[in-house]
A and B are shown apart, each in its own frame.
Chain A
Amino acid sequence: DVKVTQSSRYLVKRTGEKVFLECVQDMDHENMFWYRQDPGLGLRLIYFSYDVKMKEKGDIPEGYSVSREKKERFSLILESASTNQTSMYLCASSLDGGTGTEAFFGQGTRLTVV
């Protein structure tokens, strides 16, 4: 089974802190994604990576950056956390297999910024 593992289920951070969210997948997938999930807004793509060291901005990249130094690991970085970044963060991965390819998700990290 494909497994996508996010390093933390729950995090509480202070405003202004630098925050790292880590994600690891074990199926050699080319593509990895970070989404945030908010009530009434669904999932919104923050960043996407299609290869090591390659990244593309999603719909809401402001205030975030990412790092992909190894194929299996994709990190989301909040440079200076703010209260409006309190949310559920979901990591996903997929094969580069065409338009019908399934995405596999981690369990999510619920981040609270106080």
Chain B
Amino acid sequence: GNSVTQMEGPVTLSEEAFLTINCTYTATGYPSLFWYVQYPGEGLQLLLKATKADDKGSNKGFEATYRKETTSFHLEKGSVQVSDSAVYFCATPGAGGYQKVTFGIGTKLQVIP
């Protein structure tokens, strides 16, 4: 079945630094790919998504491009802020039907002033 592998954290960056969080996928075909974010004390919320190969998802200054050549969907942001401190999850529909999304282990990002 489909799965994602994302880099382990935690990642600590200074404010205004460049962020990359790596995510690679294993899949049959080209499933949708998602990045979810979990701010402290909250549930997950969708940050961005791409539904087909070569799509770019973007939101709140974050971007990720669905690259079939490298089976990757890396999350990037050019200049992080303290308010971006959160846990980031890569995800894709898993085995047994598109409704059931499978998540990576999560990468905790801490941005220091």
Contacts and interface: CB of A to CB of B under 8 A. Distances in A.
Interface stretch (A12-20, A40-48, A68-76, A79-87): A40-48
B61 interface: no
B interface, over-half SS: loop
A90 B44 contact: yes
B30 to A, nearest CB: 10
Given A99-B31, A103-B101, A90 B51 contact: no
A106 B44 CA distance: 8
A45 B45 CA distance: 17
A41 B99 contact: no
A45 B102 contact: yes
Interface size range on A against B: 20 to 34
B43 A106 contact: yes
Nearest to B106: A42
A21 interface: no
A107 B45 CA distance: 10
B46 interface: yes
Contact of B43 (A4, A42, A94): A4
Interface of A: 4, 31, 33, 35, 40-43, 45, 48, 50, 56, 58, 90, 92, 94, 96, 98-108
Given A45-B100, A105-B44, A108-B43, 13 more contacts: A33-B100, A41-B105, A43-B44, A48-B99, A48-B100, A56-B100, A58-B100, A92-B43, A94-B99, A98-B98, A99-B93, A102-B34, A103-B44
